[in-house]
Amino acid sequence: MTTREIYFKILILRDLPIGIARYSYKNKDGDIYIDYINLELRTDKIIVEKYVNIMKEIEKTNGFMFWNNSPKSEEFFKNNLD
């Protein structure tokens, strides 16, 4: 699932023009944390590009694992909640 698809998935699931995108990451000690960013949720091309680019920058940070709205997240938490 692409970053753009994650953005639109969040947009579709929210009734408000704002929302959050949660993501999981590992710190330098290997501990897993969940963080989030605020999103303006619109279909305007400039707004979409702005937030997709912000999300892509987060994906480049050390320890980034996945967006919590992704199939990768669902699979990870399904197999690691024990």
Asked whether residue 81 carries a pLDDT value surpassing 80, the answer given is no
Q: Alpha helices of the chain — where are they, by DSSP H?
A: 3-13, 45-59, 71-80
Mean pLDDT for the stretch of residues 68-75: 93
DSSP secondary-structure letter at 40? E
pLDDT classification of 82: cutoffs 50, 70, 90: low
Number of H helices, E strands in the chain: 3, 3
